[in-house]
Chains A and B, each alone.
Chain A
Amino acid sequence: MENLVYIALFAPLVGSLFAALFAMTPKNLITAFVTSGLLFVSWVASSSLLMYVMDHGTISVNMMEWIAAGNLTIDFGFQVDAITAVMMVVVTTVSTVVHVYSIGYMEHDKGFNRFFSYLSAFVFSMMILVMSDNFAGLFIGWEGVGVCSWLLIGFWYHKADVSTDVNPSISPSWAANEAFIVNRIADLAMLIGIFLIYWNVGSLNYDVFFAAIPSLENSLLVSIGIALFIGAMGKSAQFPLHTWLADAMEGPTPVSALIHAATMVTAGVYLVVRANPLYAEIPNVSLFIAYLGTFVAIFAASMALVNRDLKRIIAYSTLSQLGYMFAAAGLGAYWVALFHLAAHAFFKALLFLGAGNVMHAMHDELDIFKMGGLKKAMRGTYLYMGLASLALAGIFPLAGFFSKDTILEVAFNEHTYIIWFVLWITAGLTAFYSFRQVFLTFDGDERYKKETDAHPHEVQNFVLVAMAPLAILAIIFGFFMNPFKEFATTILPAYEMSEHTHHIAWILIIVTTLIAVSGIVLAYKKYANGLVRDEKMENSFIYKLLQNQYYIPKFYMEFIAKPYKEISDILWNKVDMKVVDATVDGIAKIIYFTGDKSRKMQTGNLSDYLNWMGVGAMLLIVITALSMSLS
């Protein structure tokens, strides 16, 4: 079994390194085949590990010692338990699909080989993140996915900086830097959490830490919990560190599907689920997580309502769904969070890949107001995106229905009715914006004929086939909820609904389905028969507020980024050059100046020198006499 662990982990790395060999040469299909093939190998290994873990329980392997200093010992240790196995299968499934999809999507790109190298490197980092058995290993993966995300968002680095009025991102490279730096802010908090754990437990291993939790003070646990959660907030783009996710859409679409929907952004949820023994002990922090998640759910959904950018809408919906996951995890229903994570990964990746098809057909046009009526040309994509949107909206019997509904039930069961209500509203909003997007893109009048010169066509067949596994999973995954629960709760706390909730569960289901359906119906009425612009509404304050993302990116720009630059300039020009350095030079100048002045003493005349000598001798005598008389 150990070998399987290594195969699952290192196959993507081997693929990445292989592709890297060709990074500077023209397109070579072999890189794509090798990386995709190795990912499939990794998927097979992960699936077999899942089976094995189901029967035999956790596997742990210790590869070698990494860092040892003082009392600290960090190993490259990996463990595969239920949580990890689920994450591994989700990651490898989505990434295999995305790899195959990218063969079509990146077909004409100059950086074809480089792309596959980065993509596989990302999968490797993600595998380290989920498989590590200690916080330091987690941090390796955590930063590793950050770098790969940086590389991939900025993949089209050659694009110039262009300012847009609504979207703050000016170029892929700008968005990449933003993502990296924002994530680093959160990573700092995570490091602090790691330090806290080390100095109080003496080890960074999950098992050791979790075993020590009962003996630690509550205030300390709260600090650790907060620090780790801030780390999670960065990766999972929770408010207020959320701006980078929408800007990350500058990257190629397969990247958005893999990293910014299915895997990396869920790392924060994974961390909270993984650290469930910790968060179970600190209910206040957990409740805060739940409330923050709920807030982000509706906050992101509201921004998605008015956005015109195909990919950004999906990005905001990802943000919103991450909010759902945190709400579930915060309320103690860890396995539900994990279940929603997996289900969401499948249908959201599908949605993104569909959006990629549309982009390809429309020659990288992203404005859904300029599309419409695409279903004629792109039937397969329409089907996929419609399906994924239904799943996202939570319509029976698709995967989203089961997972989202359970989260709402949990919120109800915990008597946190505010959370339930907000999430319920959000479910309606989700349905509305998802179908607003679908209808504006695929139904109604064919606006693209006027607005653009694109001739939409369906993508290659193998790309559609490659997307099929995700579509199938989006349909059937919900029915695996009970086996999933059984499996996940072997290590996660089993969350049981109270008797009361059990009784009214069907009412909740109906209520939720009702609002989702009415969201779809509303979207249908408004957009399915063509776009009618409502100038008055578009100029209203709220519309503008939402369109500008509550002016938060602007706020960050004006009040953080720009002042930082200005202060830096002042520190350099005014403080460092004019004060610190000038002081040093000043001292040197004083010495020079006094030397220059006293040079006059040196007249060249011997008798002057002798006079000075006499004065000096007298002075010495006086000083000696004085010091003798004083002592």
Chain B
Amino acid sequence: MDNILSILIFFPALAGLLGFIVDKDSARAYGISVATIEFLLALWLWMIFDGSNGGMQFIEMVPLIADFGISYYLGVDGISLFIVVMATLMVLLGMIGLSIKKDIKNMIISLLFLEMTMVGVFLALDAIIFYLFWELSLVPMLYIIGAWGGPRRVYAAVKFFLYTFFGSLIMLVGMLFLAYLYHDITGVWSFAITDWYALVLPFKYQMWLFIAFFFGFAIKVPMFPFHTWLPYAHGQAPTIGSVILAAVLLKMGTYGFIRFSLPILPDASVEMITPIAILSLIMIVYTAMIAYSQKDMKQVIAYSSVSHMGIIMLGVFAMNAEGISGSIFLMLSHGVVSGALFMLVGVIYDRRHTKMMSEFGGLASVMPKYATIFGIMLMASVGLPLTIGFVGEFLVLLGFYKISPIMTLIAGSTIILGAVYMLSLYKQTFFGPVTNQENHKLKDLDKKEMMSLLPLVAIVVWLGVYPKPILEPIDNSVKHLVAFMDKKAKTQEAKDIIISTTLIREEK
């Protein structure tokens, strides 16, 4: 099947359209079956994907506006493949665990459209198509937060929308300028990212473009100091919204850096390592400390997401295969783990309609299964070896050590500070005697919740012990990327910092 990528993108959207005529009572079942098919399609894509090939595969290209070089251009490589698989998985599990009763049909349809945009962003190889999906993804999310959120949902939704939209517009300007430069140099118009890769740009332009792209991606990540929309969005969003937001939408930003900034602007990227690393370090330490002082469980996890995204950013700018592969792996693991943690908070919120830690205490005695799964996810979140969280974190820190040992030391404080806020959350919520009478009669996880959480537990352990099936294709694509950057970089400084492993291997 040649059009697997198109099917993957548009199947949920078409199914979402059909969803309007589905009966209200069967909407959830319909959504789950569509998401299952979509997930199976993604798995199938993984099956037929050639892991040893680091380049783009399953390329589809249909010219749309030939005069301006805009085309419907899709492709997948090791970097994007697993994010797509994870996105479809998280949508599926989120739907299984869905506990919303109000307007369930609209929720399902929004989710399916959201799924289309998410898959589209990661598969697009044309800047305009990429931008289209990038912006479209805001719409269902705006709706999900605004319609099913908490008391301040409108403020949170509008803030989320306007803030990220503002950044994306600057990114769009960057894209247009890049296309203009491409036209200037080659004489033809093209918005294909792969064409842009071939472009060797003067350093001054690279810097300007880098800054333009930076705004779009950094707000999405979200990097300090552009992170303040995130706690509101998470705090007000319904569980499913937080899950998707943390698991997939944030990854768009870091993915953008890898897909655009690094290969198109290698010299500027190398030049910007220090400022970005400093911002990332602030993210890691500062938000970890803020997470510690939160009183709302969900806010702890929201801020911890920012902290972990800081590590991912460091890995992206490590400029060697270890760091970049690690950061892509960390994107996946953070998606799985933070998604699971948000679901877990949702479980307790459904029962008590509060997320305040002070309301709880001693839950481990009342809800042992819940406490166990929370504990496993907690350990994955603090990066315990043999869980999924360790592999990425270890590789990122290892990779960035080559750039700066001191910065790595500061970034490494994440393993301490992460333990501090997560363990303090766990102690306040699960340990101690049951003090609140209402907590005595809480029910442990039911079947539906187990169904949505157990697969994630399995993934956490499986990929922690045996990450190879995923790490290998990622690593192949990343080696491809790093070797390309090394070849393309103009300044000697950049060439020195980018470590191309393929070349070293050949010398051996």
Contact = CB atoms under 8 A, between A and B. Distances in A.
The answer on direct contact between A and B (beta carbons under 8 Å) is yes
A68 B466 CA distance: 10
Contact of B431 (A68, A139, A157, A194): A157
A154 interface: yes
Contacts of A572: 289-290, 293-294
Contact of B432 (A68, A71, A159, A575): A159
Sorted nearest first, the 10 A-B pairs with minimum C-beta distance are A70-B321, A173-B431, A70-B322, A568-B293, A581-B228, A195-B401, A140-B385, A69-B325, A568-B289, A157-B431
Interface of B: 159, 162-163, 224-229, 286, 289-290, 292-294, 320-322, 325-326, 329, 362, 364-365, 368-369, 372, 379, 382, 384-386, 390-391, 394-395, 397-399, 401-402, 405, 408-409, 412-413, 415-416, 419-420, 423-424, 427, 430-434, 465-468, 471-472, 474-475, 478-479, 499, 501, 504-505
Contact of B397 (A144, A157, A195): A195
Given A70-B325, A157-B432, A160-B433, 4 more contacts: A70-B475, A71-B501, A71-B505, A188-B416
B432 A180 contact: no
Contacts of B362: 158
B292 A565 contact: yes
A588 to B, nearest CB: 7
B134 to A, nearest CB: 21
Interface stretch (A59-67, A390-398, A540-548): A59-67
Contact of A184 (B226, B386, B394, B415): B415
Contacts of B412: 188, 191-192
A630 to B, nearest CB: 24
A333 B131 CA distance: 66
B10 to A, nearest CB: 34
A409 B424 CA distance: 47
7 contacts: A23-B368, A69-B325, A136-B394, A140-B386, A161-B432, A173-B432, A195-B397
A72 B398 contact: yes
A265 B347 CA distance: 38
A580 interface: yes
Residue among B321, B385, B412 with the highest chain A CB neighbour number at 10 A: B385
A552 B475 CA distance: 47
Contacts of A199: 401-402
Contact of B501 (A70, A144, A185, A569): A70
A558 interface: no
A68 B385 contact: no
Contacts of A374: none
Given A160-B433, A571-B286, A195 B385 contact: no
A413 B363 CA distance: 58
A158 B433 contact: yes
Contact of B427 (A68, A69, A173, A196): A173
A174 B423 CA distance: 9
A177 B427 contact: yes
Contacts, number: 163
A24 interface: yes
A417 interface: no
A70 to B, nearest CB: 3
Nearest to A174: B427
Contacts of A136: 385, 394
Contacts of A569: 293
Interface residues of A, number: 56
Interface string A323-343: 000000000000000000000
Contacts of B395: 67, 69, 72
B228 A68 contact: no
Contacts of A143: 384-385, 390
Residue among A157, A171, A187, A565 with the highest chain B CB neighbour number at 10 A: A157
Contacts of A177: 423-424, 427
A576 interface: yes
B399 A185 contact: no
B408 A192 contact: yes
Contacts of B292: 564-565, 568
Contacts of A66: 465-468
A184 B322 CA distance: 23
A157 B364 contact: yes
Nearest to A186: B416
A195 B293 CA distance: 31
Contacts of A173: 427, 431-432
Residue among A66, A68, A181, A184 with the highest chain B CB neighbour number at 10 A: A184
B432 A158 contact: yes
Contacts of B294: 572
A516 to B, nearest CB: 41
B22 to A, nearest CB: 39
Contacts of A584: 159, 163, 226, 228-229
Nearest to A76: B465
A24 B379 CA distance: 20
Contacts of A70: 320-322, 325, 399, 475, 478-479, 499, 501
Contacts of A573: 293
B347 to A, nearest CB: 17
Contacts of A174: 427
B409 A184 contact: no
Contact of A69 (B227, B229, B321, B416): B321
B322 A72 contact: yes
Contacts of A187: 415
A14 B280 CA distance: 41
Residue among A67, A139, A580 with the highest chain B CB neighbour number at 10 A: A67
Contacts of A208: none
Contacts of B465: 66
A576 B322 contact: no
Contacts of B228: 576, 580-581, 584
Contact of A192 (B372, B405, B427): B405
A198 interface: yes
A147 interface: yes
Given A70-B399, A160-B433, A584-B163, A568 B322 contact: no
A177 B225 CA distance: 31
Nearest to A171: B432
Contact of B472 (A68, A147, A161): A68
Contacts of A72: 322, 395, 398
A158 B293 CA distance: 23
A64 B434 CA distance: 45
Given A67-B394, A158-B362, A571-B286, A147 B384 contact: yes
Residue among A72, A136, A139 with the highest chain B CB neighbour number at 10 A: A72
B289 A195 contact: no
Nearest to B423: A177
Contacts of A180: 419, 423
Contacts of A65: 468
B467 A71 contact: no
Contacts of A159: 432-433
Contacts of B467: 66-67
